[in-house]
Amino acid sequence: MRISQAFLPLVAGALLLTACGNEQPANNAVTQADAALSPMRDDASKFAPDELKAADATLAKMKDDLAKEDYKAVVGAVPQFNTEVKALQETLVQKQTLAAAAQNEWDTLNAEVPKAVEAIQVRVDALKGAKLPKEITKESTDG
């Protein structure tokens, strides 16, 4: 009985040191997660709101676990957070690429269509004064 009583404080001390030892990695994980999400937050809110919401929820859970000193849960949530951030980045790149392509197409059409309309108008104006072919009468085109 005395031997187990002697080991009890050592086990408690080891558990305490382990818990303290995990605090720094947990703090680092939350800090790095926050830093990873911050730069893309504005674009993500426009282009990938669902993926941002998932990553934010995981980050909030990590912060909550850190506040509760559940360092193991914080460190355990890192792979899930990394997966969510990767999905967020992929969606963000994909949708930004699509938006850039759409903008490029719009810019091209915005430049070309007015020129085409102007060319058609020039041709219409040129034909206004022209005589109709013999087989076509004005009455046949009105009806």
Q: Answer whether 0.75 is exceeded by the pTM.
A: no
Residue 6 has which token pair?
A: 């002697």
Segments of the chain assigned E as strands: none
The angle at the Cα of 92, spanning 73 to 109, to the nearest 5 degrees, equals: 170
What do you get for the CA distance between the two ends of the chain, in Å?
Answer: 114
* pLDDT, one tens digit for every residue, the chain (143 residues): 333 333 334 333 333 334 444 789 988 999 999 888 889 898 888 989 999 999 999 999 999 999 988 999 999 999 999 999 999 999 999 999 998 899 999 999 988 999 889 988 888 887 777 777 777 777 777 65
Task: Give the three-class secondary structure for 132.
Answer: coil
Nearest to 33 by CA among 97, 77, 67: 77
Domain boundaries, given as residue ranges, for the chain? 2-95
